[in-house]
A = this chain, B = another copy of it.
Amino acid sequence: MEHLIDMELGELKHKLLTMASHAETAVNEAIRALVERDYDLALHVKENDAVLNRFEIEIDDMVIHLLAKAPLASDLRFVTVAMKISQNLERVGDEASKIAKRARDLSEEPPVKLHLDLPRMATLALHMLKSSLDAFVNRDSAAARAVIPRDKEVDALNKQFNQQIAEHMMENPDTIKRCLNLIVVSKSLERIADHAKNVAEEVVYLCEAQDIRHPNRGKGGTAAITG
């Protein structure tokens, strides 16, 4: 027979996955609003951000309730990790809102003649997020570890887009204000990949009970940081 606390942990996991699905939809809609220059869809994304905010609060309530029951050490990690994943998902929603705001502004201006494959960047970032959550559900440390290096691909795209945008601005100074919106969008997608990486790192911690977030730990304050 399943214990009550196991049922509650199951509910927490279920709620987190529902929240993740909302976050994914928000990002996809924000990018669609940008590409299709759809003012109303952009507005809808910004309004819908309240749903993710509410999820975060509800998950925090569940977490505090579960922690008060003094769960086993392994459950304790699961519960604190769930809280951190929820924070990351809420911030993915914030980034979707920021993209939507820029999509809305850009939909009212002439299009910038610059090919940036932002949808591909969004797909990469969301795929990282999905893999991280699958790894969480399956408690699959290897799958979570495999997500982490993919962040570099998204960083590289962001850098490449920034160079393209900077060149376009230099050649077409009248597009500078619009181009700055595109820089913000690219930066937001890069941050979504960062959040996916954070989730993956939390899952590794959950599975292995060791902290991989900062590989320089223990090497002293003067350890060299690259990048």
Contacts and interface: CB of A to CB of B under 8 A. Distances in A.
Contacts of A224: 47
Contacts of A114: none
B76 A67 contact: yes
A64 B209 CA distance: 11
Interface centre among A73, A176, A213 (most CB of B within 10 A): A176
A213 B77 CA distance: 24
**Which size bracket describes the interface of A in this complex?**
35 or more
A contacts with B: majority SS: helix
B170 A47 contact: no
Interface of A: 46-51, 53-54, 56-57, 60-61, 63-64, 67-68, 70, 73, 76-77, 80, 83-84, 87, 97, 162, 166, 169-170, 173-174, 176-177, 180, 183, 211, 213-214, 216-225
Contacts of A220: 50
B169 A173 contact: yes
Contact of A77 (B64, B211, B216, B221): B64
B50 A221 contact: yes
Contact of A211 (B60, B68, B183, B217): B60
A53 B60 CA distance: 24
